[in-house]
A and B are shown apart, each in its own frame.
Chain A
Amino acid sequence: MRRIVVLVLLIGVVAAACGGSAGGIEVTDVWGRPSPSAATNAAFYMNITNGGDAPDQLVGASSPACSVTELHEMYMKDGGVMGMRPVQGGAVEIAPGATVEFKPGGLHVMCIGITEELKPGTTVPLTLTFEQAGDLQLEVEIRAN
């Protein structure tokens, strides 16, 4: 019994290091780039999997490393022109069984007004809020370029 408790605790610690799960939602591979000097904004990326059998929605994010956090998507126009905007309806649908990738050129958690330098090899806390699964506490791994 004690061994099981230890094992559960260990799994908890390992999961907290980079990803996390709640209510069928699992978030893995949470990362961002080191902030260039003079940069005011940053983007965070991750994979969100809905292992449950009901749809869920990512409705918000927050981090002490950002003054304001928004959910953004990139769009591509003719001739390789790219831009970004807040996601439609302010939420990202995570269908049952689906994995939604947040990655460069696609979706990102937009970190507006970074409050600290994002240093390679460190982590910053990030809370993702899901309509059904509630809040998920994560750590963003700042990966060297």
Chain B
Amino acid sequence: MKRLPIILAVTTALLAGVWFGARALRPYSFHGTIIQSPEPAPDFTLQSASGPVSPSDFRGKVTVLFFGYTFCPDVCPTTLADLAGAMRILGDEADEVQVVFVSVDPDRDTPERLAEYVGSFDPRFVGVTGNEDEVAAVAAVYGIFYEKHEGTPASGYLIDHTASAMVIDREGRLKLVLPFGIGPQDIAADLHELLK
């Protein structure tokens, strides 16, 4: 009878051990959508204000590609602010991350304009564009859709575009898709996992 408390204590300790062990072994669950059999990310070259930029320049880092345009007041600043927030959360690790903003509005977004724009969110961000055909080719290989449509006389044309960001791992494989609006904490956690 006296042994009962001991047995209970031992059982509880064992169960707790199993539970914590299982938790530690469980694989990390990404907030974004992981690509199960990642392929090499298609390479391209577009222009930034400080010269040509290709994803392959950042091999060894984790690269985040986000397509948008500087006239966009909602999705693009929200995502760039979330990515900048994730960079702050990552601290020193953020030096291993390269965010590239690809403009789908080559008529209005010059490389200089893009540099100013993305630099306001994080000075390490890079903004790139090219001529209409070049941008269309890059978007196509990354499965990014964009389409101009008429706005009002005040807004001018607007552009519908894929709002998710594409993440390339250190080995240059297209590995993860970050949907719109998941927030800086979740983005930082996913990028941290890819940096391991």
Contact = CB atoms under 8 A, between A and B. Distances in A.
A39 interface: yes
B179 A104 contact: no
Contacts of B121: 36, 145
Contacts of A67: 154
B181 interface: yes
Interface residues of A, number: 33
B89 to A, nearest CB: 13
A37 B121 CA distance: 9
B180 A70 contact: no
A111 interface: yes
Contacts of B179: 80
Interface stretch (B2-10, B34-42, B111-119): B111-119
Contacts of B78: 33, 104-105
B180 A80 contact: yes
B74 interface: yes
A70 B149 contact: no
A111 B152 CA distance: 13
A2 interface: no
Interface stretch (B16-24, B92-100, B160-168, B186-194): B160-168
Contacts of A85: 151, 158
Given A43-B74, A70-B154, A36 B180 contact: no
A83 B72 CA distance: 9
B29 interface: no
Interface in A79-119: 79-86, 104-105, 108, 110-113
A122 B119 CA distance: 21
A3 B68 CA distance: 55
B74 A68 contact: no
Interface in A39-71: 39-43, 67-68, 70
A40 B71 contact: yes
A62 to B, nearest CB: 12
B195 interface: no
Contact of B161 (A37, A81, A108, A145): A81
A72 B72 CA distance: 12
Nearest to B113: A38
Contacts of A41: 71-73, 155
B74 A105 contact: yes
Contacts of A104: 74-75, 78, 181
A112 B155 contact: yes
Interface of A: 33-34, 36-43, 67-68, 70, 72, 74, 76-77, 79-86, 104-105, 108, 110-113, 145
Interface of B: 70-75, 77-78, 80-81, 84-85, 113-114, 116-121, 143, 145-146, 149, 151-152, 154-155, 158-164, 179-181
The 7 closest A-B pairs by CB, nearest first: A83-B160, A36-B120, A68-B154, A145-B81, A38-B116, A37-B116, A43-B73
29 contacts: A34-B120, A36-B116, A37-B120, A38-B113, A38-B120, A39-B120, A40-B70, A41-B73, A43-B74, A43-B77, A68-B155, A70-B152, A70-B155, A72-B74, A74-B74, A79-B145, A80-B163, A80-B179, A81-B145, A82-B162, A83-B149, A83-B159, A85-B158, A104-B78, A105-B75, A108-B74, A112-B154, A145-B84, A145-B85
